[in-house]
Copies of this chain bind each other. A is one copy, B any other.
Amino acid sequence: MPVLDTIDQPVLLLNEAIARANLKRMADKVAAAGVRFRPHFKTHQSAEIGQWFRDFGVETITVSSVEMAEYFAEAGWQDILIAFSVNIRQIERIQALAQRIHLSVLVENEEAVTALIGLADVHLDVWVKVDVGNHRTGLDWMELGGITKICKAVQHHANLTLRGLLTHSGNTYHSDGVAGVVRTFRDGVERLKRVRSALEEQGMTGLEISVGDTPGCSLCDDFSGIDELRPGNFIFYDAQQAAIGACSPEQIAVAVACPIVALHPERAEVVVYGGAIHLSKDSLEVDSKVSFGLPVLPEGNGWGKPLQNCIIRSLSQEHGVLQFTDGKIPPLHIGDLVIIMPAHSCLTVQVMRRYLTLDGKWIETMNH
């Protein structure tokens, strides 16, 4: 039976061919630049999908939590960076991980360094988290005094290796167009290079630079000065990435199939079984309107192009409401499927917890 015919409730579909092509494109690009690839696994959260990266020689990965590091260590990954500032309440789990694998962590304050120093019998690589303009967290790149102090505190201890400076240029997500993304991304790298030069003048040599947001890595061709790249979302992309210009809608590899349960032609709306618990409540702007994803229709054994003049105007717990902004509903029927490309695939994967590939295979994540 065709896979779409088997669906009776919201299901996260995965077009494996698109995802593998996205992976190959990024892996080839990073390899061509001679940079170490440390892809972020927080997007797919799946041991099975993680194996696809082995085909491209990937042995170093990034995760966003201790829990995720434990999951991927169990799946055989031996070199993991937890790209989240050390949470000192988890120091014992960090120690246990460092006993099993080559573990890298992030610090941005003395409390974290002190906690790491206290760990006996384990060795950790340490990156200093620098804020180059995103202002979520990290040490401000202009606060050289603070950065130097943390670097020296790390360097002082034999069980810690100071590896370098790391940033997440999350502000590329808010940059103005492709040129804006590239400028924000390169500005971030240049700021890290300036910090590194200042540290070198104080005798701290050999420090590396690690960056990696999907818009920047997708759109920028100049990776000079970068030692390590950590994009994650690119494996699937999503509607937000398409809106930024980091991918085309055809490169989005995941979408949630949602059965139609009601038609309201008088207001050009279609109600689907598919809500915030299936898509997450993240959104994007489409034609100056908030939309909780990009609706498409089934096509063959997969899905077609985004519907024109169609937004998901609201999501409640289980309901999604599609609105056709030109007032015209295409010929749809109760029981048909609408397929929704998520606003933010990482969060959709997290709520859905497993994938169904277009050839009918279930793939689990750490949360299933």
Q: Which residues of A contact B (CB under 8 A)?
A: 7-9, 42, 64-67, 84-90, 92-93, 108-109, 111-112, 135-138, 140, 170, 259, 261-264, 266-267, 271, 273, 276-277, 280-282, 314, 316-319, 321, 333-335, 346-347, 350-351
18 additional A-B pairs beyond A8-B87, A9-B65, A88-B334, beta carbons within 8 Å, are A65-B273, A65-B318, A84-B318, A84-B319, A85-B261, A87-B259, A87-B261, A88-B335, A89-B335, A109-B263, A109-B334, A111-B335, A135-B267, A136-B319, A137-B262, A137-B264, A138-B262, A281-B282
Residues of B within 8 A of A346 (CB): 317
Among candidates B317, B334, B350, residue contacting A111 with C-beta atoms closer than 8 Å: B334
Complex alpha-carbon distance, A196 and B365, angstroms: 49
Report which residue of A111, A261, A271, A335 has the largest number of chain B beta carbons within 10 angstroms of its beta carbon.
Answer: A261
Among candidates B89, B267, B276, residue contacting A280 with C-beta atoms closer than 8 Å: B276
Stoichiometry, copies per complex: 2
- Of all chain B residues, the one with the shortest Cβ separation from A84 is B318
- Of all chain B residues, the one with the shortest Cβ separation from A276 is B347
A67-B9, A135-B267, A318-B64 known; A87 and B273 CB under 8 Å?
A: yes
- Of all chain B residues, the one with the shortest Cβ separation from A321 is B136
- Whether B111 contacts A333 by the Cβ 8 Å rule is yes
User: In terms of DSSP, what is the predominant structure of the interface of chain A?
Assistant: mixed
Complex alpha-carbon distance, A273 and B86, angstroms: 10
Among candidates B89, B263, B280, residue contacting A7 with C-beta atoms closer than 8 Å: B89
Among candidates B89, B109, B333, residue contacting A259 with C-beta atoms closer than 8 Å: B89
Task: Give, as a whole number of angstroms, the nearest-CB distance from A346 to chain B.
Answer: 6
- Of all chain B residues, the one with the shortest Cβ separation from A108 is B262
Residues of B within 8 A of A347 (CB): 276-277, 281, 317
Among candidates B261, B263, B271, residue contacting A86 with C-beta atoms closer than 8 Å: B261
- Whether A271 contacts B136 by the Cβ 8 Å rule is yes
- Whether A9 contacts B136 by the Cβ 8 Å rule is no
Complex alpha-carbon distance, A267 and B138, angstroms: 13
List 26 interface pairs A-B (beta carbons < 8 Å), by A numbering. Answer: A8-B92, A9-B65, A9-B90, A64-B317, A84-B318, A84-B319, A86-B261, A87-B259, A87-B273, A88-B259, A88-B335, A89-B259, A109-B334, A111-B333, A112-B261, A136-B271, A136-B314, A136-B319, A137-B261, A138-B262, A170-B316, A276-B280, A281-B282, A281-B347, A317-B346, A351-B351
